[in-house]
Chain A
């Protein structure tokens, strides 16, 4: 009797494997993938064997569409990615020489439920089973970390979106197919620290989120600030679940620091800003990494309230005519919720870059396209755009590192040669209600 019970599960497993034989790798799209065996450098490439059947380019993405991580995707790269796919398809698609025609994009999205394990599994499904032509990255730094080795293993080009970290940069050196698009602490913190010196900031309080983002930004800030002779008497951290930031604010207030820096995500930056307003805490500099760059962030507090608030970023309509065009397109399609004035122009540029790389390659071969991305310069909304030897979007192409709310507009203030307005210092006190 018991033996029988033991065997039934195994019979079930057998059934699964039988099902697996019955329907091996059911593709949801026409059988695709061009031959990748031919060395791409050879001048006479035979036509791909799917030249008659292919009628689209399939891009797959395993990303958080539910759970806590969805919010970062929904207000971040989802906007440029959606716009790009729509625009490309409105023009008939991307011209690929090998096929002698324009191929529209088919975008498959799977929900990773904000779970890393699921993301990794679904990414492999997209690559192995759906045999998509390209992948879009998942959302947020630690997800990029998890996806990067997988993309590289199967030699799929991955242009990162939301997220970046100095330790990710180290990892990427061994992963030739992975490129980082967004700017992060290594370019943002030094210019901010220089500006602090210029303003005469003597003391800083740091409040960081207990994840990769917070740890990296706070470490970098600590070293860059102390290097410049600025003291950091208060350094506190908070996990995701904390709602009450008042002990941290009061600690900064008691230490009477000049600048209060919050290395954390939108939800937490809203909390810390709201509670600083309530407590009437007015440091000369109020800085938050992720969050302040959004129009909805301004609207939560109203423009006069957050006058002078500084944050990570940055770009705006004045950055370039192409930036203004993208801004208007985002606004038309997604409303104010779609305006992210830190990352979205970076992602938009990376997609324009990607499109030109495919067109230049004239093939869908990952290796050829990877080499083009690594070496070529294309014109995008950021002007001439290229990736540096560390596979990062070159610092020269960044539209800006740090932004500030001035007269209800998100202005680029650092670095100085890309600034769209003169920074305000000190931050005016919160208006009294």
Chain B
């Protein structure tokens, strides 16, 4: 592991960071139109997973609320998308999720462990069923059509949200909040003793993480074209971020990113290549990964690196392409 440190440090300077950003931002110029669609989906899952991990990673609270925040964003676009400019709608989507997360957080973050997980899950279901009842029986709404937006525009907004999320994650980790959150995860009572306002820290970080989920939902809705409560508040979007983060490995920041990217890509390949066996293969991959990769995919990386390194200098070339 030590021998590696040299390479990334010199390799990944802020200049490279910008270069990657520029390369990604310019990708509509040089990749196929569908790759843009696929990248947008991958970004979406990376956003969901990383924002899930911002809160759940350090604290160990398994939140199953992402579908609520994501769904609120979707619904904001479905309701306001025709009236307001797109960026404003995305902003409102993020803000609405923030507010919802403040309320949910204040209500629920007293609970711990598995109780918190199932409570957040219940909240998503409650929102969905209540909305469903309200729309069919009170307002008589029949699902909503969303305005179509150019794929490139969606791509750029999604990329912007992702960059903002990465920056937020980076600064949050180094801020007082991040350190406080870390100590809460290690020992909540001790943290409270040290004078940390445990509840406030938890609620605020929880709410910040929701902003990005809401914004991602708001922009993704324009891609999905038709919205009803079943689509917007699909509980799968609560489970997937958690799965992807654990799949990738929660020990490092890049774990959730790797998890989300590989998970999404795997799904894409399976649903298109093996449509009738998609669930079977996917399930087997999941189970095998859990059995044999105890620290997630990230746990695999050091092992692979080491093996490659021992093989000799040619590995360096491979790694940098």
Contact = CB atoms under 8 A, between A and B. Distances in A.
In the complex they form, whether A and B have CB atoms below 8 Å apart is answered with: yes
A142 B17 contact: no
B170 to A, nearest CB: 5
Interface in A103-147: 109-113, 115-118, 120-122, 124-125, 128-129, 142, 145-147
Interface in B167-199: 169-170, 173-174
Main secondary structure of the interface of A (DSSP, over half): helix
B116 interface: no
A2 B174 contact: yes
Contacts of B224: 116-117, 120, 146
Interface in A231-290: 237, 239-240
B136 A210 contact: yes
B145 A110 contact: no
Interface string A16-33: 111011001100000000
A318 B278 CA distance: 40
A272 to B, nearest CB: 17
Interface in B295-321: 321
Given A21-B30, A113-B271, A214 B136 contact: yes
A125 B37 CA distance: 8
A401 B3 CA distance: 75
Contacts of B42: 16
Q: How extensive is the interface on chain B, given as a class?
A: 35 or more
Interface stretch (B92-100, B203-211, B249-257): B249-257
A45 interface: no
A113 to B, nearest CB: 6
A36 B221 CA distance: 30
A237 B136 contact: yes
Contacts of A5: 252-254
Contacts of B9: 4
A382 interface: no
A173 interface: no
Interface string A54-71: 000000000001100000
A153 B275 contact: no
A4 B35 contact: no
B236 interface: yes
A225 B14 CA distance: 70
Interface stretch (B21-29, B57-65, B80-88): B21-29
Contacts of B252: 5, 8
Given A9-B253, A121-B41, A149 B145 contact: yes
Contacts of A118: 271
Given A120-B224, A128-B32, A9 B258 contact: yes
B166 A6 contact: yes
A25 B35 contact: yes
A115 B237 CA distance: 11
B34 A2 contact: no
A237 B254 contact: no
A146 B275 contact: no
Contact of A111 (B132, B143, B226, B276): B276
Q: Which of A117, A118, A128, A215 has the most CB of B within 10 A?
A: A117
A4 B271 contact: no
A214 B261 CA distance: 38
Interface in B239-274: 252-254, 257-258, 261, 271-272
Interface in A189-206: none
Contacts of A149: 145, 148, 225
B39 interface: yes
Nearest to B265: A16
Contact of A145 (B145, B254, B272, B278): B145
B223 A117 contact: yes
Nearest to B150: A153
B122 interface: no
A14 B21 CA distance: 8
Q: Which of B24, B27, B140, B226 has the most CB of A within 10 A?
A: B226
A121 B45 CA distance: 14
Given A6-B170, A12-B258, 11 more contacts: A5-B253, A7-B17, A9-B254, A12-B257, A16-B39, A17-B24, A17-B31, A20-B32, A21-B31, A113-B278, A129-B33
Interface of A: 2-14, 16-18, 20-21, 24-25, 65-66, 109-113, 115-118, 120-122, 124-125, 128-129, 142, 145-150, 153, 165, 167, 171, 210-212, 214-216, 219, 237, 239-240
In the A-B complex, the 7 residue pairs with the closest CB atoms: A9-B257, A129-B34, A111-B275, A25-B32, A146-B226, A7-B12, A128-B34
21 contacts: A4-B8, A14-B23, A17-B27, A17-B39, A20-B32, A20-B39, A24-B32, A111-B276, A115-B234, A116-B224, A116-B226, A116-B231, A117-B220, A118-B271, A122-B272, A129-B34, A147-B225, A149-B148, A211-B143, A239-B129, A239-B132
